[in-house]
């Protein structure tokens, strides 16, 4: 569900914990990811689906039915979805902005534009790459620091409004049509990715990326940071803790085999990763080859100029065959030079290396995105591939946004009569409210706040939520009791391993993740990558103290319903554990609550 959401965790996590997995370790990281998926992802996915499907209640109420003191978990999940949806649709606004320019030839991120009434390029663009300049100065119109307070960028406000109009339109017809919409939003990008995969295998230099698929680094398995990154990625990929899984499951028929569904979704997540890895690496291998060849050509011209100026000795003069075809012959000639001459040349020109270019991609998702944007402009029929690439990203982005919106819309419709009877009006109002709130993130400094929330904040309440859910089922309600009743309802066998994972393994891993992340935030300074307009380069800056206080305050505000409801239960002496009379079997036999909407048989059949 949240493929977009965790593409934004590596960049800043690398800055506070050390290097993230690079392309040389991608196979090793996949194995670590697989282990975390099996011991954390799948058990928690099954847990959320089972509770939602069996309780048949709103997420505001279902956790209270499992544990009377857990009434605040659903409200915390709701607020996390609310805040995440506010800035998540800004990603779609960026994609729409790029898409509007992708039909030009050449695309504006391929070459620097000429200044008006001049034959020269913009100096700021000339000091960097065209793709970097277009991203920071044309798309974001970014400020140099997070402290800069300016109004929203109006060139982004219109795409942002369009993205919310699309989201609201897809939500209007309710659950019955939402499944078809999300199916299309997922299937169409799959077709485009298949096209990129086939085309990527035929591109020059694709082998340089693909060869990393089978490289395994044993030391990766002993790196705690890799396990933390993989754990966070699993939680985001499956959308755990946000609420949509439990909400949508509550509208499924009671006889549905949720264990089977959880396994299928896990296998689907793995299949997507296995499908994306060769596509991603082959295209990036082509990109690294093109960039390196351009580096060879530029270095050859620079060396000739420096020899003419007397800065380099004549012995460094490239032969005619190198000057004729630098892309093919430069590397062999350069590495054949005497070591002292080679070092002298390297002091004046950069080293050209395909491997170094590939390593840059793993500096974070920001660079990976720009590399993929740039590579579409290198491909033959660049306009077509650029348009397909951004249409694919827009489909995936809208699908993710719709998933998060379900974490708010379904609980509101289940709990509030107005949202059930005035569906279009309520959804329009909710979308407009989120649009107005999200304009804050379209300001020149908005990208820095998005990174603060997405890289550092979101994972904290998510881990707290899934830990509460896990402990509620495993220890408050009782894992053995829950699984016994679930077996009777599903009329199928459920392995006892699920109970062991819920009781011991999963909560221990989640607690370790939470402690480690909080330790890193407080011990090591958290930073962000900013744009320096004077040098046209990216620089690393420290987040100011007030931004950290804001982040922690927002975290406390979001999770306060959990301890607040516990205090309420203590005051009114509500028992900690649910009564054994209030089993899952009896809860299904009892009529729905007065204010709860139950899906019709037709809707249930459509959802299955």
Q: What is the pLDDT of residues 407-438, one digit of tens each?
A: 898 888 888 888 888 888 999 999 999 999 99
Decide the pairing of beta strands 527-532 and 537-542. Answer: antiparallel
**How many of the other CB atoms lie within 10 Å of CB of 334?**
23
Residues 558, 576: Cα–Cα separation, whole Å: 23
What pLDDT is attached to residue 154? 92
pLDDT of 114-141, one tens digit each?
777 666 677 888 888 888 999 999 999 9
Whether 2 has a pLDDT exceeding 50, the answer reads no
Residue range 391-417: mean pLDDT, rounded:
88
Would you say residue 273 has pLDDT above 80?
yes
Express each pLDDT in 499-531 by its tens digit. 999 999 999 999 999 999 999 888 888 899 999
Neighbours of 575 (CB within 10 A): 10
Structure tokens at 467: 């830990």
Looking at residue 216, its pLDDT comes to 79
Per DSSP, 105 falls in state S
Alpha-carbon gap, residue 358 to 369, rounded angstroms: 13
What's the start-to-end Cα distance of the chain, in Å?
Answer: 18
SS3 assignment, position 309:
coil
Is 156 a residue whose pLDDT tops 80?
yes
Tokens of 446: 């908005």
- With cut-offs at 50, 70 and 90, classify the pLDDT of residue 598: very low
Phi first, then psi: give them for residue 222, nearest 5 degrees. -100, 5
Q: How many CB atoms lie within 10 A of CB 547?
A: 18
How far, in Å, CA of 327 to CA of 297, rounded? 7
| C-alpha span between 75 and 500 (Å, rounded) | 28
């Amino acid at each position: 569900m949240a493929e977009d959401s965790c593409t934004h965790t590596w960049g800043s996590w690398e800055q506070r914990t050390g290097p993230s997995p690079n392309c040389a370790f991608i196979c090793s990281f996949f194995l670590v990811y697989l282990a975390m998926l099996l011991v954390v992802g799948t058990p928690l996915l099954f847990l959320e689906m089972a509770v939602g499907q069996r309780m048949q209640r709103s997420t505001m109420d279902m956790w209270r039915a499992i544990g009377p003191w857990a009434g605040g978990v659903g409200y915390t999940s709701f607020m996390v979805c609310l805040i995440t949806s506010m800035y998540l649709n800004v990603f779609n606004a960026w994609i729409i902005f790029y898409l509007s320019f992708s039909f030009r030839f050449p695309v504006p991120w391929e070459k620097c534009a000429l200044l008006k009434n001049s034959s020269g390029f913009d100096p700021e663009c000339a000091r960097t790459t065209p793709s970097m300049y277009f991203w920071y100065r044309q798309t974001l119109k970014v400020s140099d620091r997070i402290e800069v307070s300016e109004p929203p960028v109006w060139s982004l406000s219109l795409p942002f409004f369009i993205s919310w109009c699309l989201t609201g339109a897809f939500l209007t017809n309710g659950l019955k049509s939402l499944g078809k919409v999300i199916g299309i939003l997922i299937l169409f990008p799959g077709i485009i990715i298949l096209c990129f995969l086939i085309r990527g295998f035929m591109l020059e230099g694709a082998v340089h990326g693909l060869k990393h698929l089978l490289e395994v680094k044993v030391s990766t398995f002993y790196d705690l940071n890799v396990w933390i990154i993989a754990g966070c990625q699993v939680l985001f990929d499956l959308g755990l803790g946000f609420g949509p899984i439990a909400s949508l499951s509550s509208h499924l028929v009671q006889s549905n085999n949720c264990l089977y569904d959880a396994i299928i979704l896990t296998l689907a997540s793995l299949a997507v990763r296995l499908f994306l890895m060769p596509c991603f690496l082959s295209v990036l291998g082509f990109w690294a080859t093109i960039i390196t060849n351009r580096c060879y050509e530029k270095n050859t011209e620079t060396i000739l100029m420096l020899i003419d100026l007397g800065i380099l000795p004549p012995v460094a003069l490239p032969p005619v065959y190198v000057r004729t075809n630098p892309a093919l012959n430069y590397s062999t000639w350069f590495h054949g030079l005497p070591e002292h001459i080679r070092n002298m040349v390297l002091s004046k020109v950069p080293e050209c290396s395909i491997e170094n270019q590939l390593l840059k991609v793993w500096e974070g998702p920001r660079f990976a995105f720009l590399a993929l944007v740039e590579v579409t402009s290198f491909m033959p029929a660049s306009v077509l591939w650029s348009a397909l690439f951004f249409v694919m990203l827009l489909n995936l982005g809208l699908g993710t946004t719709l998933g998060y919106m379900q974490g708010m819309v379904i609980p509101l419709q289940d709990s509030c009569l107005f949202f059930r009877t005035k569906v279009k009006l309520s959804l329009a109002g909710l979308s407009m409210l989120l649009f107005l709130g999200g304009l804050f993130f379209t300001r020149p400094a908005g990208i820095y706040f998005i990174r603060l929330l997405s890289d550092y904040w979101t994972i904290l309440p998510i881990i707290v939520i899934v830990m509460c859910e896990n402990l509620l089922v495993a220890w408050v309600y009782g894992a053995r009791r829950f699984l016994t009743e679930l077996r009777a309802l599903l009329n199928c066998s459920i392995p006892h391993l699920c109970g062991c994972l819920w009781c011991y393994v999963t909560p221990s891993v989640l607690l370790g993740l939470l402690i480690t992340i909080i330790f890193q935030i407080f011990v090591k300074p958290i930073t962000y990558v900013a744009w320096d307009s004077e040098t046209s380069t990216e620089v690393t800056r420290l987040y100011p103290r007030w931004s950290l206080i804001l982040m922690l305050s927002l975290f406390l505000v979001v999770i306060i319903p959990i301890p607040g409801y516990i205090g309420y239960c203590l005051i009114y002496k509500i028992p900690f554990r649910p009564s054994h009379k209030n089993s899952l079997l009896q809860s299904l036999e009892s009529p729905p609550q007065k204010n709860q909407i139950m899906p019709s048989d037709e809707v249930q059949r459509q959802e299955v």
